[in-house]
Structure 1
Amino acid sequence: MFSSHDGLCSIGELAEHLGVSVKTVRFYSDRGLLPEASRSAGGHRRYGPDAVQRLGMIRSLRGLDLPLPDVRSMLDELDARGDQEGAGAGGALEDAVAGRLRGLGAELAALRWREAALRLVQECPAAERPARLRLVGAVTAPPSTAPLARSWRAWLPPRMPARSVTAFLEAAVPAPPDDPRPAQVLAFARLHAFVTRPCGGAGADAGQPRAHGVAGTRAPAVLYAGLAEAYDLAGAELRRGAAPAPGEALDGFVDAYASTYGTRDTPAFRRVLAERLADDPRIDRYWELTAAVISAPGGPPEPTPGSAHDWLFAALEEQSRATGHGGARPPVTSA
């Protein structure tokens, strides 16, 4: 391949053969990725024919923006198998490519978020831009949901099992969309401001609802597990546009409280529960913003735990009024 008597080439010849700079070849040689075959009498580097394939492999890997440590691992793996061309590239290459794909996914998500944020600022009236910039500038790209989760963790009852806390956070903390619209960026930024404002987050302002005031280490987990099931059922009703009404969702909702209190589901209990829920603090703004973050463009709002709760509470109030003068319904068996 090389015309010299010893079959070796200089660093300049190798660089010219691959169409790269001498500086590039020296860089990879100095880092041990491209071993020299020997040195000339004058101390100049000499490379063998296999350096062409090796440097080509290095360029291909670096062209995919794989970091040098990953390139080194792959070359070491190829050396161990005697596979200079990389035809049987194994685990190191697969791991590096998978890791780079994950990294690119995060980078693309950040770019899409920044693009939507810039459009949001660009499209708003000039007088509103400074405030809009401060609002969206307080959110990382891609945005972190950690502040929202912290707010809810502070609000949840102490000694809640980790599994129950995780399940609640999955329902209460909206995941930022991968390809957001400017309106979704605005909603998430406002949600972030809502939970990080100096006077406290969603949970700090509201406190535990009076209706949740039950004793016992298992009580919160039992209550929230039952409410999650009821909210799922109510969410299905909301998606099909159903008006609040008695049914399986409401029965599960009431049974969650009755089971936690250790009592039976009766018309009288439902009336008392409706009164307690009516007095509890509300965080409607949080759920409105959450729905704006997760809803598809042009479509109906996606159900949230907040909107599901409102639907169930409306159904409970209507039924309590209807049975307030002696009306009866079959009791629900406590779980």
Structure 2
Amino acid sequence: MSADGTWSIGELAERAGTTVKTVRFYSDLGLLPETSRSAGGHRRYGPGALDRLLLIRSLRGLDLPVAEVGRVLDREEALEDAVAGKLRELGSRMAELRWREAALRLVRDCPAEERADRLRLIGALDSPPSTAAVARFLRRVLPPRLPSRLVASITDAAVPAPPDDPTPGQVLAFARLHALAADAAGTVSVCRPVASVPDGACRPAVLYDGLTEAFALAAPDVRAGRAPYGGEALDCFVAAHAGMRGARDTPEFRRRLSRYLDDVAHPRIDRFWQLTAEAAATPEPTFGALDDWLRAALARQVADPAA
């Protein structure tokens, strides 16, 4: 340090454990202002420059961009926003790496004869995958006169969110789900559990409002693995179908409804619910599983009213 208490660029670099080139770089960017110039025109730095240089290096060590470093140096409260943004970025990158790892394990551990098919499936999938295509598929097969509030509610509940740390099985389920959504354009007219009504009378909003309530009532029994039975959830389920048709809930209506639902088959939609269950990161039953449970409860009641 000179008599005036300043350091040369080399002295500052030595005390900070870095190079003259680095000090000059930050100085040229305006992040490390010089205190003065020597008679020969060389930069001189005051004692405060060392702390500032060490702070710059710490912030850069956190991988903050130079522009963010400048904002933090100018405004201390900007550090919190910069760190939060970096954490979000790292979270996204880590999720991407976990999906790639699970995809690699999926290919590594599968039988040789399945490898080409799995490579094709996961090759069409982002890491982590977007759910936009799956949501579009579901919206496309829902009844066209359904209110937007119900479409949004059903889509939010039915489309699984990609887990942050997927298993290879979940990667495969998401890949198959995306393939189904891409391949099923225009092939399904009405989404199960809605079935088209033979006589043409159909109020889908009434049906779906009722089904939403029936599914919520049945969910605890399905989660607990209880056998299907008659009760409030089944009554709500039947009332929803009766309301859609403008019919009354009678024993005869229940018999006809059970027969009709048994005859209705939507293989692609059944496959959709199966894959959403495999892809989901939560144990919550899908709408498809809840619908199956209520249909089974109805069939059991019709077969044995005393039960």
Please state which band the TM-score falls in when normalised by the shorter chain: 0.7 to 0.9
**Cα offset, 1:18, TM superposition:** 0.9
Aligned to 1:35: 33
Pairing 1:175–2:161 present: yes
Pairing 1:148–2:122 present: no
Equivalent in 96, 121, 134 of residue 120 of structure 2 = 134
Equivalent in 73, 77, 81 of residue 75 of structure 2 = 77
Is this contact kept in 2: 1:147–1:196, CA < 8 A? Answer: yes
Aligned pairs for 1:71-220 (under 5 A) are: 71-78=69-76, 90=77, 92-158=78-144, 160-197=146-183, 199-200=184-185, 204-208=186-190, 211=195, 219-220=203-204
**Cα offset, 1:295, TM superposition:** 6.0
**Separation (CA, whole Å) in 2 of partners of 1:285 and 1:264:** 32
Is this contact kept in 2: 1:274–1:313, CA < 8 A? Answer: yes
Give the secondary structure class of the aligned counterpart of 2:75: helix
Is this contact kept in 1: 2:143–2:190, CA < 8 A? Answer: yes
Greater displacement, 287-296 / 235-244 = 287-296
Is this contact kept in 2: 1:235–1:304, CA < 8 A? Answer: no
Letter of the aligned partner of 2:13 in structure 1? Answer: A
Letter of the aligned partner of 1:5 in structure 2? Answer: A
Is this contact kept in 1: 2:162–2:281, CA < 8 A? Answer: no
**Cα offset, 1:150, TM superposition:** 1.3
Aligned pairs for 1:303-314 (under 5 A) are: 303-314=285-296
Give the secondary structure class of the aligned counterpart of 1:206: coil
**Separation (CA, whole Å) in 2 of partners of 1:151 and 1:231:** 21
Deviations 1:67-104 (A, max 9, x none): 333222221114xxxxxxxxxxx3x2222222222222
Greater displacement, 67-76 / 306-315 = 67-76
Is this contact kept in 2: 1:230–1:250, CA < 8 A? Answer: yes
Deviations 1:233-279 (A, max 9, x none): 32321222222221111112122223344443222332333344334
Number of aligned positions between the proteins = 301
Letter of the aligned partner of 2:52 in structure 1? Answer: R
1:295–1:77 distance in 2 versus 1, CA, 3 Å: closer
Letter of the aligned partner of 1:313 in structure 2? Answer: R
Aligned to 1:317: 299
Give the secondary structure class of the aligned counterpart of 1:46: strand
**Separation (CA, whole Å) in 2 of partners of 1:23 and 1:262:** 82
User: How high is the TM-score relative to the length of structure 1?
Assistant: 0.80
**Separation (CA, whole Å) in 1 of partners of 2:238 and 2:8:** 83
Is this contact kept in 1: 2:161–2:281, CA < 8 A? Answer: no
Letter of the aligned partner of 2:180 in structure 1? Answer: F
1:32–1:275 distance in 2 versus 1, CA, 3 Å: farther
**Cα offset, 1:117, TM superposition:** 1.0
**Separation (CA, whole Å) in 1 of partners of 2:151 and 2:32:** 52
Equivalent in 189, 214, 221 of residue 237 of structure 1 = 221
Greater displacement, 3-12 / 144-153 = 3-12
1:56–1:240 distance in 2 versus 1, CA, 3 Å: same
User: How high is the TM-score relative to the length of structure 2?
Assistant: 0.87
Give the secondary structure class of the aligned counterpart of 2:187: helix
- Percent of aligned positions with the same letter in both sequences? 60
**Cα offset, 1:305, TM superposition:** 0.8
Greater displacement, 250-259 / 307-316 = 250-259
**Cα offset, 1:4, TM superposition:** 1.2
Pairing 1:226–2:210 present: yes
**Separation (CA, whole Å) in 2 of partners of 1:123 and 1:183:** 11
Aligned to 1:84: none
Is this contact kept in 1: 2:277–2:285, CA < 8 A? Answer: yes
Structure 1 unmatched runs, 5+: 79-89, 330-335
**Cα offset, 1:211, TM superposition:** 3.1
Equivalent in 240, 252, 257 of residue 256 of structure 1 = 240
Aligned to 2:11: 13
**Separation (CA, whole Å) in 2 of partners of 1:144 and 1:231:** 27
Is this contact kept in 2: 1:211–1:273, CA < 8 A? Answer: no
**Separation (CA, whole Å) in 2 of partners of 1:63 and 1:7:** 29
RMSD of aligned Cα (Å): 2.6
